[in-house]
Amino acid sequence: MNQAPVEERGYRPCAGIMLLNPACEVWVGRRRDMTTHAWQMPQGGIDPGETAEAAALRELEEETGIAPALAEIVAASRDWHQYDLPAEMLNNAWGGRYKGQRQRWYVMRFLGRDSDINIATDEPEFSEWRWSPASDLPRHIVPFKRPLYEALIDEFAAFL
């Protein structure tokens, strides 16, 4: 395999979405590819030439079936957040090219109805979904992303 040594690997550019319903609960999905009980907010890579905002709206639709017209961006993270992958995942995730992700996060208000959500997408990432209080997010995410989720809850507290 043609992988960069760990010290040369960079961070994958990514956009993340904290989607809120009218009760200020956060949309989370249970990942299909994890054997653990891992729930996360939608997120995904930023394509070359794409803005982080455009990537967030695209990823939201790709992962949840929610059309961009049904999500209103109300805030963006002040800075980029990043996390490192655990050593055991370095050679498997994203073909071993990255040591983690560098993410711009967006708070979005969901303007639709639950029936507008469809996780049975072309390339499904989630096996189920639910609305969750923000305070529960760190407890249900994989441990290596827990500090990221705690930082997001702090930063976006005014919207929760």
What is the sign, positive or negative, of the torsion defined by CA atoms of 150, 25, 160, 109? positive
Which domains are delineated in the chain? 6-159 (3.90.79.10)
Token duo for residue 83: 């996390």
Convert the pLDDT of each residue in 19-37 to its tens digit: 999 999 999 999 887 667 7
What average pLDDT does range 148-156 have in this prediction? 97
pLDDT in tens, 86-103: 887 776 766 677 788 899
> Does 118 score more than 60 pLDDT?
yes
Q: Letter for the amino acid at 83?
A: Y
Q: Is 104 exposed, middle or buried (0-12, 13-18, 19+ CB in 10 A)?
A: buried
pLDDT of residue 61: 97
- HEC states along 37-93? CCEECCEEECCCCCCHHHHHHHHHHHHHCCCHHHEEEEEECCCCEEEECCHHHCCCH
pLDDT attached to residue 8:
56
Looking up tokens 């992962």, which residue turns up?
A: 63
**123 or 53, which is more confident?**
53
Burial 2-27, CB ≥16 within 10 A → b, else e: eeeeeeebebbbbbbbbbbeeeebbb
